[in-house]
Amino acid sequence: MTTTPSSATDEWGLQLEWLDADDEPQALTDERAAPIREAVGRPPADLESVAPLVLRPGAPNPLGPCSVRCEDGVVRDLGDAVPDDFPLGYHRVVGARGTTEGRERRLVVSPGVCFLPDEPRWGLAVQLYGARSRASAAHGGTGDLADLRVLREWAVGLGAGFLLVNPLHAATPGLPQESSPYLPATRRFRHPLYLRVEDVAGYDADRDEPAGDGPDGDGPDGDGPDGDGPDGDGAGVHALDDLVDRDAAWARSQHVLRSVFAHTVVADGDDGDGTDEGFRAWRAERGAPLADWSTWCGLVGEHGGDWRTWPEPLRRPDSPAVAEWAAEHADEVTFHAWTQWLLAGQLATAGGDTTVVQDLPIGVSASGADGWAWQDVLALGASVGAPPDALNADGQDWGSPPLVPWRLRMADYEPFVESLRGTIAGAGGLRIDHVMGLFRLWWVPEGRHPQQGVYVRYPWRDMLDIVALESHRAGAVVVGEDLGTVEPGVREALAERGILSYKVLYFEDDDPADWPVSAMATVTTHDLPTVAGLWSGSDAADQAEATGTATAAAVRASQAELLERVTRDGVPASAGVTEAVHAAYTQLGRAPSLLVSVALEDAVLDERRPNVPGTTAEQRPNWSLPLPVPVEDLPGHEPAERLLRLVDAAVRG
């Protein structure tokens, strides 16, 4: 019988006892619990009678015989068990024994198992913002969805079956732009910076490009709700090896998009909704969530990027003042909805028939759109983090407010459902960052050190079954990033539901040939050294320079265990970087795992990792490093294509 994660909690859901990273027992104290209990709030006494039911076909019905209004509007009778042929989906119980007349309750019927590919495949892990072409780099911008299409066509031509990309979620509109893709304003909508604006229907370079967009760096003026950048800080022309300049790219892209919108949507449309039937239908289908997002973006342009500082009447999305503002600024609201429609179209073109596995961050910025929309469900007096462990003796605070478990249930799990659905949409795959957070999360009280956090437990069975339902509907493979402190039973629970584990060569003692089938296998991650950087020693030097707290020798010593993994097959210390990369991926190719991932940085022998955890923008340009090879030069790039052919041959057997 499989062990399942379980632990005693207090009535607020705080875990009473746990083992730390050294397997030493820890116990909850009133001093540590007090601020978290205040942030959680006391659950209502009738929670269990009103919270959603999440069941599978064949499961007993705890309500007994009842009537259910299904998603399709048909009312069906449900007996003592859920029939095997009962429709999957999100339904409403409209009549049951012991319920108040007229009171409804959500019923989620899930298959309980995620979609899985039918055979092993390999793919590329891509930091899209840095995977630039000459066209996207010219304006300082991020790699975009047109660049993703080039990457996909190249990789698929060599046998790839998927692409894994960094989170594409939107940051707060305006300047300065947030650099970390793991602290977005929303987990439901995508970032306009990933649009190739030249591919937008109706684009006219002579009309739409900002004046002075040339080598002198002059660009659009102003810093108002039109989204343009500060005076004299325009798009300019950037070199391929320049850092990603999100601020310059934002100024230029917003100028272009607003010009196209004004000339092709507002000028030709009815009530600012455009003449494109596809846009109108798409917008209507997405309903209130898209309306709230688009309104929030417009309000940011007028009142700033933190909704908590707005005039009081505008701080709640359901207020009459917000509805009045949206009606008065219909074109502005439509603009932000239109950019999301463009993103959906360009992502579909970029991915084609290939699975694009998108990353779901653990949380969002408290000041952002999801913080505004779900302020009653989030604990704004705490943040998500991690306890001290082997990689970080001080623990970590990731800055995102956690969802309050009982409030999430009272909200019918809708914030979680919308985050999953918005991330999976049009992509075909999902990687859940810190998947252990569906079981328990380390909450850090506001103003406290991460070491003073506590574990808060979540309704993991319900949440995993909701993941399975969304995966089933989208035909999307799901990967759970299960690195770090993982309590007993978590990996077994994930495997039972078809959620793939995440196996990293740098961390595994076992030979990859012995890794599980139900996994994504990789050599490294965005937070770890590239093979080239590890092998050459440049990553150790980079860390020492960035942190300023350790010598290069000390950091190098901490990487000795990683080097042992690379040399497990006997590659000599005198080998060159290319040989070391091939040795690492030769090992990886032995993995029987359903998904095998190749870091694009390794393919092009890049020595710089995307991110050094624990460093700030002043110490290191995390999330802003361009790939050293423009994407249009990858076809025919001998080191990269040799590596991908090696992996392709290994995975295909």
Question: Which of these three, 47, 75, 109, is where a domain ends?
Answer: 109
99 and 130 co-located in one domain: no
Predicted TM-score (pTM) of the model is 0.93
481 and 615 co-located in one domain: yes
Lowest mean pLDDT among 205-214, 359-368, 578-587: 205-214
Mind listing the pLDDT tens digit for each residue in 154-199?
999 999 999 999 999 999 999 999 999 999 999 999 999 999 999 9
Question: Which of these three, 109, 131, 148, is where a domain ends?
Answer: 109
Evaluated on CA atoms 416, 418, 423, 424, the torsion sign reads: positive
Question: Which of these three, 80, 109, 138, is where a domain ends?
Answer: 109
- Is 41 domain-assigned? no
368 in Cβ contact with 330 (< 8 Å): no
569 in Cβ contact with 587 (< 8 Å): yes
- Is 259 domain-assigned? no
Cβ-proximal residues to 512 (8 Å cutoff; 6+ apart), any chain: 503, 505, 521, 587, 588, 589, 590, 591
Choose between 310 and 227: higher pLDDT.
Answer: 310
Task: Give the Cα separation of 36 and 207 in Å (integer).
Answer: 55
pLDDT at 227: 38
pLDDT at 478: 98
Task: Give the Cα separation of 89 and 72 in Å (integer).
Answer: 10
Lowest mean pLDDT among 262-276, 390-404, 582-596, 620-634: 262-276
Q: What's the rounded mean pLDDT across residues 345-372?
A: 97
Provide, for the chain, the percentages of residues in helix, strand and coil under a 3-state DSSP scheme, each rounded to the nearest 5. Answer: 40, 15, 45
Predicted confidence band at 577 (pLDDT cuts at 50, 70, 90)? very high
Amino acid at 607: E
Residue span of the structural domain in which 75 resides = 57-109
87 and 136 co-located in one domain: no
pLDDT at 276: 79
228 in Cβ contact with 220 (< 8 Å): yes
- β-partners of residue 89 are 109
pLDDT at 211: 84
Amino acid at 62: P
271 pLDDT exceeds 60? Answer: no
Cβ-proximal residues to 402 (8 Å cutoff; 6+ apart), any chain: 363, 378, 379, 382, 383, 384, 441, 443, 456
- In this structure, the strands spanning 519-522 and 501-504 are parallel
Task: Give the Cα separation of 475 and 570 in Å (integer).
Answer: 41
pLDDT at 267: 73
- Is 282 domain-assigned? no
Task: Give the Cα separation of 507 and 487 in Å (integer).
Answer: 17
Cβ-proximal residues to 412 (8 Å cutoff; 6+ apart), any chain: 52, 106
483 and 623 co-located in one domain: yes
445 pLDDT exceeds 60? Answer: yes
- Is 139 domain-assigned? yes
Instruction: Retrieve residue 496's tokens.
Output: 């039972």
2 pLDDT exceeds 50? Answer: no
432 and 564 co-located in one domain: yes
- β-partners of residue 408 are none
394 and 417 co-located in one domain: yes
Q: For residue 497, which of 518, 520, 468 has the smallest C-alpha distance?
A: 468
192 and 75 co-located in one domain: no
Q: For residue 170, which of 265, 296, 260 has the smallest C-alpha distance?
A: 296
Residue 76: φ, ψ to 5°: -120, 150
235 pLDDT exceeds 60? Answer: no
SS (H, E, C) 245-301: CHHHHHHHHHHHHHHHHHHHHHCCCCCCCCCCHHHHHHHHHHHHHHHHHHHHHHHHH
Distance, C-alpha 560 to centroid of its chain:
31
Mind listing the pLDDT tens digit for each residue in 204-223?
999 999 986 543 333 333 33
Residue 37 neighbours by CB distance under 10 Å: 18
- Is 7 domain-assigned? no
- Is 245 domain-assigned? no
Please give the share of the chain, as a percent, with pLDDT higher than 70.
Answer: 91
Residue 301 neighbours by CB distance under 10 Å: 19
494 and 621 co-located in one domain: yes
Q: What's the rounded mean pLDDT across residues 309-332?
A: 98
H-helix or E-strand containing 123? strand 121-126
Buried b (16+ CB within 10 A) or exposed e, 251-268: bbbbbbbbbbbeebbbee
430 and 397 co-located in one domain: yes
Instruction: Retrieve residue 436's tokens.
Output: 């252990």
| Residue count of the chain | 653
493 and 571 co-located in one domain: yes
151 in Cβ contact with 131 (< 8 Å): yes
Instruction: Retrieve residue 351's tokens.
Output: 């991915």
Mind listing the pLDDT tens digit for each residue in 597-617?
999 999 999 999 999 988 889
Residue 575: φ, ψ to 5°: -65, 155
Looking at the structure of the chain, the number of domains it has is: 2
Instruction: Retrieve residue 119's tokens.
Output: 């055979």
- Is 516 domain-assigned? yes
Instruction: Retrieve residue 263's tokens.
Output: 């000339």
103 in Cβ contact with 140 (< 8 Å): no
- Is 217 domain-assigned? no
355 and 444 co-located in one domain: yes
458 and 539 co-located in one domain: yes
Predicted confidence band at 625 (pLDDT cuts at 50, 70, 90)? very high
Please give the share of the chain, as a percent, with pLDDT higher than 90.
Answer: 81
Give the domain CATH number at 429: 3.20.20.80
Residue 461: φ, ψ to 5°: -65, -45
C-alpha neighbours within 13 Å on the C-beta side of residue 338: 27
Distance, C-alpha 226 to centroid of its chain:
27
